[in-house]
Amino acid sequence: MADHAHKLEILRGLIKFKSNTQKIWGVLILLTIVTAVEVILGIYKPESLMASFLGMKILNWIFIILTIVKAYYITWDFMHMRDETKSLRRVVVWTAVFLICYLIFILLLEGGYVFDVYKEGFVKTDF
Amino acid sequence: MDNTVVSTGTEGKTWGGGNKPLKASYGKMMMWFFIVSDALTFSGFLAAYGFSRFKFIDSWPIADEVFTHVPFFHGNYPMIYVAFMTFVLIMSSVTMVLAVDAGHQMKKAKVTFYMFLTIIGGLIFVGSQAWEWGTFIKGDYGAVQTKGGNILQFVDTDGHRVALRDFAVIDEHKERVQDERKSGLWFTSEGTLPTYTVAEVLNGLEANENVLVRTQIINEEGEKTVLSRAESLRQIKDNGMLVVEGANLHVNEYGSPLFADFFFFITGFHGFHVFSGVVINIIIFFNVIIGTYERRKSYEMVEKVGLYWHFVDLVWVFVFTFFYLV
């Protein structure tokens, strides 16, 4: 990045910034809005979002998706991933994403299984 | 730089050194690879947290009811303080990225200023975390642990939490004192005793008609189950073993001890990262002041610590979600 070339578009070119500094403040505003939405949802917990969807409450899915959105902007704009080569991006992101998804999948599945054993497997845990 | 790096005469050849694969310098690429491995460590912790939570999915503590305090204010403010901490960390990420940007433009004064703000932000965050640990360890309402290791908390008939100090009947003649090394055998001692005994809590419960016991089991409405008056008395009388105030690695008044263990471990590990980030930032800050990077004609070092600092922020975003929100 010796040539100081920053890509100044976010949201697939929906918002274009004039300078890198301006983009930083823009991303800050975006992250603040997302965090505020999370906190407000966390405090009020709307009844309509408490229904279960794919084994988890819709509200929790919203939290996780918003977190990934925040992670994307931190990595892409604060850590300048947007300006790196495509191959560096893939080396870092795909490795982490693949391994983390695998880890989460096996551990959560196992946790759910242990829960079922405790609950229905005639195992007494409270004496 | 010229007098520190030996020229090999093979520059420009593929294996001659000085190449930048993926167009990133050596230091920056290694920082990225370190970040990937550190990210996997953190996801290991968070996935283990998820495992334990799924294992006890019907009795896990509800984070909103645990983290409700704000410094200098009394009352019940779930989430507010953690949201503030999150904002502080994101803000310090912003000042860091502004410092990197100023570094690209070789503006020393600006880099110094923004690095300074970043360090202040980091210190505020670590301080907040210390305060939150203190509050968590000290506890608030107190609870009774059963023989089976479950936690029983107390509520009034409206469902509001009741602290032990509000209803326990103090027995003036209790004989149990803390065993200290000076009082018995010189090699035996024990930790601080709880303020109340189970018998005092039971007496208090019997004397106060409107106090009920709340178990950890989450019912269909997503709330903790409140027992009937008769069942409350029976539970404390038959199963009450230990009065728990606050949390440590053994007991936890908020619910499952695993919750406290993971809280200390994950936020502690993250706090340690923030602390080391602040230390590294301070070192770089002084390097900026004495003009090291000005002479090197490149502020890339600021960019590299910046990467680390943003990573700490990135991890917090996930800790925030999985510990406080979900």
List pLDDT tens digits, range B82-92.
999 999 999 99
pLDDT by 10s per residue, chain A, length 127: 444 567 777 776 777 888 888 888 999 999 999 999 998 998 888 888 888 887 788 999 999 999 999 999 999 999 988 888 899 999 999 999 999 999 999 999 999 999 999 888 877 777 6
Q: In chain B, which residues have their Cβ closer than 8 Å to the Cβ of A95?
A: 36
What is the rounded average pLDDT of the residues B41-68? 92
Question: Chain A 82-121, CB below 8 Å of chain B: which residues?
Answer: 84-85, 87-88, 91-92, 95-96, 99-100, 103-104, 107-108, 110-112, 114-115, 118-119
In angstroms, the Cα distances linking A9 to A26, A35, A117, B93, B134 are 11, 21, 51, 20, 43
Q: What is the pLDDT of residues B59-86, one digit of tens each?
A: 999 888 888 888 888 878 888 899 999 9
**Please, are residues B153 and B143 in contact by the beta-carbon 8 Å criterion?**
yes
Helix intervals (H) in chain B: 26-55, 63-66, 80-104, 108-138, 164-167, 198-207, 229-239, 257-262, 268-289, 292-296, 300-319
**How high is the pLDDT of residue B233?**
93
Query: Nearest to residue B253, comparing CAs of B194, B204, B206, B208?
Result: B194
* Mean pLDDT to the nearest integer, B8-23: 71
Query: Would the pLDDT of B177 be above 50?
Result: yes
Give the model confidence (pLDDT) of B120-154 as tens digits.
999 999 999 999 999 999 998 999 999 988 999 99
Q: What's this model's pTM, rounded to 2 decimal places?
A: 0.88
C-alpha A97, offset from chain centre: 11
Please give the pLDDT value at position B278. 97
Q: How far is CA B294 from CA B43, B280, B289, B291, in A?
A: 38, 19, 9, 5
Closest Cβ–Cβ partner in A1, A42, A74 for B314: A74
Contact status of A69 with chain B (Cβ, < 8 Å): no
Provide φ and ψ at B204, rounded to 5°: -65, -40
pLDDT digits (tens, 9 = 90+) for B267-326: 999 999 999 999 999 999 999 999 999 998 889 999 999 999 999 999 999 999 998 888
Q: Between helices B26-55 and B300-319, what is the axis angle to 10°?
A: 10
Q: Which one, of B262, B273, B239, B310, lies nearest residue B90 by Cα?
A: B310
Question: In whole numbers, what is the pLDDT of chain B averaged over residues?
Answer: 89
pLDDT at residue B85, rounded to an integer: 93
> Among residues B98, B70, B188, B187, which one has the least CA distance to residue A20?
B98
Strand duo B240-244 + B224-226: pairing: unpaired
- Show residues of chain B in contact with A96, CB under 8 Å: 36, 39-40, 43
Burial of A112 (0-12, 13-18, 19+ CB in 10 A): middle
Look at residue A100 in the predicted model and tell me its pLDDT.
95
List the one residue out of B143, B93, B96, B87 whose CA is nearest residue B115.
B96
**CB-neighbour burial class of residue A111 (10 A; exposed 0-12, middle 13-18, buried 19+):** buried
Can you tell me which residue has the tokens 């932000």? B121
Q: Is residue B75 a contact partner of residue B140, using CB atoms and an 8 Å limit? A: no
Q: What is the mean pLDDT of residues B39-51?
A: 95
Instruction: Name every residue whose Cβ is closer than 8 Å to that of residue B118 and which is 6 or more positions away in sequence.
Output: B92, B95, B96, B99, B281, B309
ipTM of this predicted structure: 0.90
The H-or-E segment that residue B156 falls in is strand B151-156
Is the confidence at residue B191, as pLDDT, over 50?
A: yes
CA angle B154, B191, B265 (to 5 degrees): 75
